[in-house]
Structure 1
Amino acid sequence: MKAILCSHYCGPDDLVLTDIADPVAGPGEAVIAIKAAALNFFDLLMIQGKYQIKPPFPFSPAAEVAGVIESVGDGVTSLKPGDRVVASCGYNGAREKIALPAASIIKIPDSLDFDRASGIIITYGTALHALEDRASPKPGETLAVLGAAGGTGLAACEIGKQLGLKVIACASSDEKLEFAKQHGAELTLNYAKNDLKDGLKQLTGGKGVDIVFDPVGGPYAEAALRSIAWEGRFLVIGFAAGDIPKMPLNLALLKGCDIRGVFWGAFANLNPQKNRANLERLVQWAAEGKISSHVDRIFPLAQTADALKVLAERQAMGKVILHP
Structure 2
Amino acid sequence: MKAMLSHELGGPETLKLTELDTPAPDKKQVLVRVHAAGLNFPDTLIIQDLYQMKPPRPFAPGGEIAGEVLAVGADVREFAVGDRVLGLCAFGGFASHIAIDAAQLIKIPDEMPYDEAACLIFTYGTSHHALKNRAEIKEGEQLLILGASGGVGTAAIELGKAAGARVIAAVSSEEKAQFCREMGADETIIYSLDMDSREAQKAFTTQIRKLAGGDGVDVVYDAVGGPYAEPAVRALAWQGRYLVVGFPAGIPKIPLNLTLLKGSQIVGVFWGAHTLREPMLHAQNMADLLRLYANGAIKPRISARFKLKDAAAALELMMTRKVMGKVVVEIT
Aligned to 1:197: 205
Contact 1:106 1:280 in 2 (8 A): no
CA contact (8 A) 1:111 1:287 kept: no
In 2, the alpha carbon distance for the partners of 1:253 and 1:207 equals: 15
Match of 1:322 among 310, 313, 329: 329
Post-superposition offset of 1:174: 1.1
1:85 maps to 85
Per the normalisation by structure 1, the TM-score is 0.97
What code does the residue aligned with 2:222 have? Answer: D
Q: Which of 182-191 and 89-98 deviates more?
A: 182-191
Matches within 5 A, 1:138-149: 138-149=138-149
- Residue 28 of structure 1 deviates from its aligned partner by 1.7
1:305 is aligned, of 308, 312, 325, to 312
> In the TM superposition, what are the counterparts of 1:18-167 in structure 2 within 5 Å?
18-167=18-167
Letter aligned with residue 245 of structure 2: I
The residue number in structure 1 matching 2:226 is 218
Q: Does 1:273 align with 2:280?
A: yes
CA deviations on 1:73-92 (whole Å, 9 max, x unpaired) are 10211111111110000011
Q: Deviations over 1:34-92 (max 9, x none)?
A: 00001111111111111111111111111000000010010211111111110000011
Question: 1:286 touches 1:293 (CA, 8 Å); kept in 2?
Answer: no
Q: Does 1:229 align with 2:237?
A: yes
CA contact (8 A) 1:160 1:184 kept: no
Once residues 289 and 140 of structure 1 are traced to their aligned partners in structure 2, the CA distance between those partners, rounded to angstroms, is 21
Alpha carbons 1:143, 1:165 under 8 Å: kept: yes
> In structure 1, how many angstroms separate the alpha carbons of the residues matched to 2:99 and 2:73?
10
Letter in 2 for 1:265: G
Identity of aligned residues (%): 46
Q: TM-score, normalised by structure 2?
A: 0.95
- 1:77 & 1:226 partners in 2: Cα distance? 52
How far 1:286 moved relative to its partner?
Answer: 2.1
SS of the residue corresponding to residue 112 of structure 1 reads coil
| C-alpha contact (below 8 Å) 1:39/1:61 kept by paired residues | no
Q: Secondary structure at the match of 1:188?
A: strand
Deviation at 1:147, TM superposition (A): 0.5
Give the letter aligned to residue 214 of structure 1: D
Give how far 1:240 is off: 2.0
1:70-119 CA-partner distances (Å, limit 9, x unpaired): 10010211111111110000011000111111122111111110001101
Residue aligning to 1:264: 271
Distance in 2, matches of 1:75 and 1:55, equals 26
CA contact (8 A) 1:146 1:171 kept: yes
Q: Secondary structure at the match of 1:219?
A: helix
Q: 2-side partners of 1:116 and 1:88: how far apart?
A: 14
What is the CA distance between 1:137 and its match in structure 2?
A: 1.5
* Gap runs ≥5 in structure 2: 194-199
Once the 2 structures are TM-superposed, how far is the Cα of residue 206 of structure 1 from its aligned partner? Answer: 3.9
SS of alignment partner, residue 221 of structure 2 = strand
